[in-house]
Amino acid sequence: MPKLKTHSGTKDRVQLTKNGKLRRRHAGVGHNLQKKSANRKRRFDGLETVSGPAAIKTIKKNLGV
């Protein structure tokens, strides 16, 4: 069976940590920032751990892990 190619979009958007967890950016940070409160924008800071076994399985498959 041939090797699977890494999905480039997933590779650019998700980081795999040393312990095998997946980290991603929050959604909704890139546009319409004027109408969002400062408190809401602060909650978007940093990375979030991907949750849900189905999502983790799919993303790891796309990354070739």
Any idea where the domains of the chain sit in the sequence?
8-63
Q: Which residues, 6 or more positions from 17, have their beta carbon under 8 angstroms from its beta carbon?
A: 23
Residue with structure tokens 């546009």?
31
What values do phi and psi take at 57, rounded to 5? -60, -45
Return the amino acid letter for 1: M
Q: What is the pLDDT along the chain (65 residues), one digit of tens a residue?
A: 888 899 999 999 999 999 999 999 999 999 999 999 999 999 999 999 999 999 999 999 999 98
CATH pick for 8-63 out of 3.40.718.10, 4.10.410.60, 1.10.1660.10, 1.20.1250.20: 4.10.410.60
> 59 to each of 10, 20, 36, 40, 53, how far by Cα in Å?
7, 12, 29, 27, 10
What pLDDT sits at residue 54? 97
**pLDDT for residue 13:** 95
- Spatial contact of 63 and 24, defined as CB atoms under 8 Å apart: no
Task: Note the pLDDT of residue 35.
Answer: 96
Q: Which pLDDT score is estimated for 36?
A: 96
